[in-house]
Amino acid sequence: MTQYDRPYSIGIPIYEGVDLMDVAAPFEIFNWMGHYWSLDPVAPRHVKVQLVAASMATLKTRDGLILTPDATYNAFGGSKHLDLLWVPGGEPKDLSRMMKDSAYLGFLQEQSPAAEWVTSVCEGALLLASAGLLDGYRATTHWAFIACLKSYPEITVADGFPRFVVDGNRVTGGGISSGLDEAFELAARISSYAIARRVQEVTQYFPKPPFRGDIPQPGKCPLDL
C-alpha cells in the first residue's frame, strides 16, 4: 500500500471554549484542497478532515456555536495516525484548563511523532508548548499571548508578529485570522501550489481589509502559568 491508497488524514482536536475561526477556517480550506486534489489527473488523493475530542459529546465554541466531534482520541493509534495535527486556540480560562488536561496533551504527544505536520494557530501554540512539542523550534502565537510563549525557555519566539512561522514540520500561526494564511501555505506544501491557488480562487481569498489597524504592544501573560 502506498501513501496515496489512503486519505490524507487531518485532525483538529477541539474542546469546550475553542475559537470558532481557528476550527472553521482550516476545516474549509483543507476540504477544498481535498476536493481539487482528488481530481488531480496524475496523483489524485482524498483528504479526510476530522474534528477530534475526548468523547463524541457536542462542544460549544467560545461564542456558543455547537460543534460535533467526528472521532475520539481512541480512534487513532498505530498505523491509523494523523498526517496533519492542527491545534486551535480558545477562550483563556478553557485554554488554561486544556494546558493541564493530560488526555488532550497525551493525544498531541502520541500523534506528533508520525505526523507530517504539527501545527497550531493563535493560542493553540500554548497547547503544543505544554505538550513539549515546540521545544527546540521557532514559533509564534496571538500577540496578546507572546509573553506566555516566552515563558517556555526551550522555544524560540519569533520577533515581531508574523502571520505564521514554519520551522521544520512545525507551523504556528498568529492571531485568529492568521489561520487562513497558514492553511493556504500548508495546502500548497501538502498538495501543490496549483491546487492551493484553485482553493484561493473558489473561496475568493483576496483580502483587502476596509481599514488598517495596528497590533498593540503585548503586555504580561494573561494566563496563570
Residues 98-144 have pLDDT tens digits of: 999 999 999 999 999 999 999 999 999 999 999 999 999 999 999 99
Identify the band that residue 4 occupies on the pLDDT scale cut at 50, 70 and 90: low
In a domain, 34, yes or no: yes
The answer to whether residue 2 scores a pLDDT higher than 70 is: no
In a domain, 216, yes or no: no
The answer to whether residue 178 scores a pLDDT higher than 70 is: yes
Query: What is the Cα–Cα distance from 47 to 25, expressed in whole angstroms?
Result: 16
The answer to whether residue 35 scores a pLDDT higher than 80 is: yes
Query: What is the Cα–Cα distance from 141 to 57, expressed in whole angstroms?
Result: 29
Residue-number span of the structural domain to which 30 is assigned:
3-121+177-202
In a domain, 43, yes or no: yes
User: Choosing from 25, 122, 144, 155, which is the catalytic residue?
Assistant: 122
Domain count, the chain: 1
In a domain, 77, yes or no: yes
pLDDT at 174: 98
Give the CATH number of the domain where residue 60 resides. 3.40.50.880
In a domain, 30, yes or no: yes
In a domain, 146, yes or no: no
Question: Strand, helix or coil at 57?
Answer: coil
| pTM: predicted TM-score of the whole model, two decimal places | 0.96
In a domain, 115, yes or no: yes
In a domain, 52, yes or no: yes
Burial of 178 (0-12, 13-18, 19+ CB in 10 A): buried
122 is annotated as an active-site residue: yes
